[in-house]
Amino acid sequence: MKKILFSFLIIFPFILSAQDKCGVVMNDKQLQAKYSSWNQRKANFEAQIQAIQAQRKNSSARVEDKIYTIPVVVHILHNNVNNIIGGANNINIADAQIKSQIQILNEDYRRQLGTNGYNLNPLGADMEINFKLADVDPDGNATTGITRTYVKQTGFNFVDDKNQIAEIIQWDNEKYLNIWVTRGNNGVIGYASFPYDSKIEGLGANSSNIAEQELFDGVIIDYRNFGNCCGTLSQTYNLGRTTTHEVGHWLGLLHPNGDENCGTDYCDDTPQIESLNLNTTCDRLTSNCGSERITNMIENYMDYSPDRCMNVFTLDQKNRTRAALSLSVKRQVLLNNAEPLSNTEQLQVSVEPNPINSSTDGSIKMRVTFKDEQDLIIQLYDGRGILIQEKNLIKQKSGFFYLSSESLATGYYILNIKTNTENISKKVLVQR
């Protein structure tokens, strides 16, 4: 039973041939063939990350990191024609299994005492990142943070089909971490996008490939490796650490060996190793990548060890994720959107940006703050005073709210927002 990576992914625990192990190189070669600047883009991004890492590490003052909370939407893609939820061998997994995975992410990324995510390793780090199922959908409505979509397809190749998966359903990846859960059909149990977004300075993207690269951003997990309860789970990867690992990639982390013999993950406190742990046990492994043989850190979440062996992110890995988050425009926008807004004594409304144009992703974004919880009515009128959109939202907190602008012609519109006791109108300009 082994895990083999295709650069950004983990392979399902089947016994694989020697040819299959070349997936790491094959995947990277595909990207090199498709994008002539791929290697240079990676090198540029890596140089920027390392510069920020070094600055953080060499700072004489202790770096005070903000604790981030990332809203997650879990998309279940299943072929259960009767839409039955839960049970053995059912891709349409139960809510309890989904919630167990979110709990595991928080245990692992917060190094929570009394959980499987806690460790006594002096290099171990609290990543100071929380995860929560989204409670507001892209339209501003209350949600469980779980979607369920019937698909006829019995399984997906997570690498080749990632854009197809994203086209089936995806929430705005600048507001949510999208996690798709379905069945893999080629042995792959997990895949994640790195924060190599096209908006980062120096990555050399061009208009012909930006759209494709930005279509998919998130994580895909096989349903048999998601969470730690309630359904049919893998024997070796059954404690939710596949998702912990893949989210690590989404945050910018690499494998400890850099996907080559004695390679680097650019984190000095993870030992340099010959290869990743392909065993189904937690037995000690060693590597000789220099003058002496050293012990592998098989407990690191970014290795391929069985789930029960894993419980460590290191301080340098934390520094790396912080560097990647600060460089990636998409990740920064997501974190800013997730930031809770402070209440105000009176209703306050701003439209960001205004005017609305083709760069505003098809929506009118409103920053709305008020006191305590309020029922909201959001209305949009055209220039003739005719109501064209309306939302009624119950027991809302201060935050960002959205209306669609995709069907709006050029011109002025009136946005009206009401709480239980107050009312504010704003003029909005749409430019095409």
Report cis status (omega within 30 of 0) of the bond before 353: yes
Q: In the 3-class helix/strand/coil scheme, how is the chain assigned residue by residue?
A: CCCCCCCCEEECCCCCCCCHHHHHHHHHHHHHHHCCCHHHHHHHHHHHHHHHHHHHHHCCCCCCCCCEEEEEEEEEEECCCCCCCCCCCCCCCCHHHHHHHHHHHHHHHCCCCCCCCCCCCCCECCCCEEEEECCECCCCCECCCEEEEECCCCCECCCCCHHHHHHHCCCCCCCCEEEEEECECCCEEEEECCCCCCCCCCCCCCHHHHHHHHHCCEEEEEHHHCCCCCCCCCCCCCCCHHHHHHHHHHCCCCCCCCCCCCCCCCCCCCCCCCCCCCCCCCCCCEEECCCCEEECCCCECCCCCCHHHCCECEHHHHHHHHHHHHHCHHHHHHHHHHCCCCCCCCCEEEECCCCECCCCCCEEEEEEECCCCEEEEEEEECCCCCEEEEEEEEEECCEEEEEECCCCCCEEEEEEEECCCCEEEEEEEECC
1 and 280 Cβ atoms separated by less than 8 Å: yes
Nearest CA-CA partner of 182 in 307, 82, 75: 75
**Residue in 128, 201, 214, 246 annotated catalytic:** 246
- CA–CA separation, 309 vs 102, rounded Å? 19
Q: Which residues contact residue 52 at a Cβ distance below 8 angstroms, ignoring those fewer than 6 apart?
A: 322, 323, 326, 327
Catalytic (active site) residue 246: yes
Catalytic residues: 246
